Structure 1
Amino acid sequence: MEKLNMKYGREVISVPIPEKNLLGVINANPFDLGKSEEEIILDALNNPIASAKLCKLVHSGETICIVISDVTRLWQRMNVYIKYIVEELKKAEIKDEDITFLCAAGSHRAQTEEEIKKLLGDELAGKYKFVNHDCLDKNSLTYMGTTTYNNPIYLNKTAVEIDHVILTGGIVYHFLVGWGGGRKSVLPGISAYETIMNNHELSLSKDLGKGTLPSIKSGNIKDNPVHNDMLQAVNFLKPTFMFNSIIGSNGKICAAVAGNYIKAHEEGCRIVDKKDGVYINELADMVIASAAGYPKDINFYQSIKTVMNAVEALKPGGTMILMSECSEGLGGDQDVKDMLLNYTNTLDREKALREKYTIAKFVGYYTCNIADKYNFILVSNLDKELLKNTNIKVVKTIEEALDIVYKEKGENLTTYAMPYAANTFPILKNKN
């Protein structure tokens, strides 16, 4: 019997798995460039991909807009790398008053003064103009054109009317557009609310009852209309330069890419694949996945990425045991709670999602849809009554979860363990 230690809340739980059943432990690949954060940042800026250096692309007297993510994306370490981008601008004799920071908040709220300091760091905060994007403020938006997906693109005037736009962000796997970063700084980042929702709705099949398109998933941009629509939106703006970070397991920058907003992003996605994409030889009957403990399992809403990754290693109809303490309950806003609590079947949830699409609704819908297709058991402190209208079974211990599975499915179940499932993406070898 193998006993694997997996994080749960602030504890470490011993998970018993029969050795003969264990196909493997899916962990991120070793990845270390052997460089400091500063060295990684400077290497990227000094060796831009498909582009000249930033200091050669801009000129004294020109205006610059640096698009940065909001406080929910502090993990990108913009407070570490932004100053080096500003230094590149200084080499071209760009004046402080000609630099504007535009917060790509998407549909999120504005940033407070204290949050702006966290984003820019003490050295830069208060020194430069800072604009909070407001997706509902029509007076701050400019119509750019309409994509081939019939999405009218409205973007923030600050970025449209300035000489040069520099995109910044971080690249991770993303459940709608394959990978985050790059084009997401523009759409949803600095787009109108209607533009954002039109884009996200492209994730749905045209036919009611068929849910999301098969191409809408982490690690895929092929035939992905959400990604394609985003890229068309960015092409209207044509940013001058891009810098994106990639974060290691220690929370620090482990790699970075800079240069052309398409080519540099593509290289960043390849790096994420090398770091977090783990190839597997076969799918399993069961996956035991941990969200990696607190704070990643602080609530159910935060656990969605773990679910989306773990399902990639499962056979159709297989069993997923998700270890997520959810010490602060369901999490998310009222939309996700509405999906979980107030509907009893996937079709009605899909109708509600189509009626008024939001990411929170999608998360609730997606989770319930997974529970319909797979045997989904949640090890959690969550009150099971909260999920009574879903097919998710809520138990208190891993032993209880395994007991249920073995009684229902038998004990000879091929199994993967995913101790850090929120950050690890299984990729099936030779998948057609």
Structure 2
Amino acid sequence: MGRVQKLPYGKSFIELDMDKLGNVQLIEPNCVVNEQDEEAIVREALEHPMGSLSLKELTKGAKKILIITNDNTRPMPSKVTIPAIIKSFYCDERYYDITILIANGLHREMREEEMREQFGEEICSKYRIMNHNASDRTQLVNLGRLSSGNILWLNRLLTEHDLIISEGFIEPHFFAGYSGGRKSILPGVAGEETILHNHRPENIASPYAAGATLDRNPIHQECQEAAKVANLAFILNVALDCNKKIVGAFAGDPVKAHAYGCEYVKRMMSVPAKRTDIVITTNNGYPLDRNLYQVVKGIDTASKIVKEGGVIIVVAECMEKVGHKKFEELILSCRSVEELYFKMSSPPSTADKWQVQILARALKKYKVILVSDGIDQALSERLFLIHAVSIEEAVKKAFALKGTGASVTVMPEGPVTIPVVNDEVRCLG
């Protein structure tokens, strides 16, 4: 084997022989390697917040403090960040009632063992940790209508605490522009009705509801307004390198710190690229490739640089198979990609419909080959995917569809790459 490219797969890698791909371009985000202590990066950000008083100042007079964090579908380094947040304001002479709220959105609740893995034993034993359940009306409070008309249902803990802090990490998000910041509130700790309105088909269909796009993005704008109404006071967001280590931290005002972090990530992850017949990508390994629901993000990123009628090969372990039950049921309820696309693009808004809408948009234009141990051939076919047991078989099938002279892109880190289409970029072949 000549030039070998490792493709993230679960907690390991699959090796791809680049020499067998012919006319190929490799696009990867700038891998900023962490050479500084993660704790030091976070501490520096907390000590010099953007557009905000420090947490030490903000917590004066506050007894009940709520820290909102990600669930385990995100590689958030909470073992580093949560202790740093608390240490930045904690004073032995004062009493604090601290609650950690997991922003599950419409994802399932985290299990106890998953919390220990995500947060560590010390945090789990020392602080109250609560799962947000968007479908449990007893957890929710109505905070009125947003300017879009959406009724803002949020977890009532936000109204029962003196200070609200959120943590998160920033990466391109396929319809909200970027993750982090305001997304801790909506969809993170919002009610199902509010999330469904925000993720409705007409919003998803907006040309501005796209990765690395905030300007005029209706989903981002509504989430930002929700965070303001919720009185989100302070955020700590981080950027991660290719090894999922912290390379940047942005703390302070929810709008200013998040905007600065998004610009940092944009510079780090933007790569010039040209459209090709075949795109080989991943969902950047565990935890993002744990199920097909999440893998839609990698497929959508690849769709930005594959030619019309082209082929997307996505490598993903899918240890949890399809993932969300409603997501699977929506796909299986349709007999063709055309029917799927039509139904998912039409009202009403229902749970997980947005994810199927984005998948259907890709399937309507491209063939998608899935390399996965978690989803077999029979299920793949029912999901309108082409199954391959290995990357070699997937490449063979792709060339059979597009011809032996087809141009190829390899994008190893999938959804954490921002491909900037430029037809002047030369291939490596």
- Smaller-chain TM-score range? 0.7 to 0.9
Unaligned runs of 5+ in 1: none
1:196-235 equivalences under 5 Å are 196-201=195-200, 204-205=201-202, 212-235=205-228
Deviation track 1:283-333 (CA, whole Å, cap 9, x = no partner) reads 22221224456665554334322212212222222222233455x474212
Report what 1:376 is aligned to: 368
Cα RMSD after superposing both structures:
3.0
Q: Provide the C-alpha distance between the structure 2 equivalents of 1:404 and 1:117, rounded to a whole number of angstroms.
A: 42
Q: 1:141 to 1:335 in 2, by over 3 A?
A: closer
1:221 partner SS = coil
Match 2:343 to one of 351, 368, 377? 351
2:310 is the counterpart of 1:308: no
Match 2:234 to one of 241, 247, 272? 241
Match 2:247 to one of 249, 254, 259? 254
Report what 1:87 is aligned to: 87
Report what 2:427 is aligned to: none
Q: Provide the C-alpha distance between the structure 1 equivalents of 2:269 and 2:43, rounded to a whole number of angstroms.
A: 23
Percent identity at matched positions?
Answer: 30
Q: Provide the C-alpha distance between the structure 2 equivalents of 1:77 and 1:134, rounded to a whole number of angstroms.
A: 22
Report what 1:285 is aligned to: 277
Q: Is the 8 A contact 2:63 2:96 kept in 1?
A: no
Q: 1:78 to 1:419 in 2, by over 3 A?
A: same
1:147-186 equivalences under 5 Å are 147-186=146-185
Q: Is the 8 A contact 2:65 2:96 kept in 1?
A: no
Q: TM-score, length-normalised on structure 1?
A: 0.86
| Residue 194 of structure 1, CA deviation | 0.7
Deviation track 1:90-145 (CA, whole Å, cap 9, x = no partner) reads 24954133x33223222334444444444543333343344433323334322222
Q: Provide the C-alpha distance between the structure 1 equivalents of 2:306 and 2:322, rounded to a whole number of angstroms.
A: 26
Q: 1:14 to 1:141 in 2, by over 3 A?
A: closer
Q: 1:212 to 1:17 in 2, by over 3 A?
A: farther
Report what 1:340 is aligned to: 331
2:311 partner SS = strand
Unaligned runs of 5+ in 2: 425-429
Match 2:313 to one of 321, 325, 329? 321
Letter in 2 for 1:189: G
| Residue 423 of structure 1, CA deviation | 3.0
Higher relative contact order (CA closer than 8 Å, sequence separation 6+)? 2
| Residue 342 of structure 1, CA deviation | 3.0
| Residue 258 of structure 1, CA deviation | 0.2
1:230 partner SS = helix
Q: Is the 8 A contact 1:343 1:389 kept in 2?
A: no
Report what 2:419 is aligned to: 426
Q: Provide the C-alpha distance between the structure 2 equivalents of 1:339 and 1:192, rounded to a whole number of angstroms.
A: 21
Q: Is the 8 A contact 2:41 2:247 kept in 1?
A: yes
1:389-400 equivalences under 5 Å are 389=382, 391-400=384-393
Q: 1:398 to 1:348 in 2, by over 3 A?
A: same
| Residue 217 of structure 1, CA deviation | 1.8
Q: Provide the C-alpha distance between the structure 2 equivalents of 1:399 and 1:107, rounded to a whole number of angstroms.
A: 36
Letter in 2 for 1:275: M
Q: Is the 8 A contact 1:104 1:133 kept in 2?
A: yes
| Residue 20 of structure 1, CA deviation | 6.1
Report what 2:59 is aligned to: 58
How many aligned positions are there? 419
Deviation track 1:139-162 (CA, whole Å, cap 9, x = no partner) reads 432222211211000222221232
Deviation track 1:169-191 (CA, whole Å, cap 9, x = no partner) reads 22122112011111111111221
Q: Provide the C-alpha distance between the structure 2 equivalents of 1:409 and 1:347, rounded to a whole number of angstroms.
A: 22
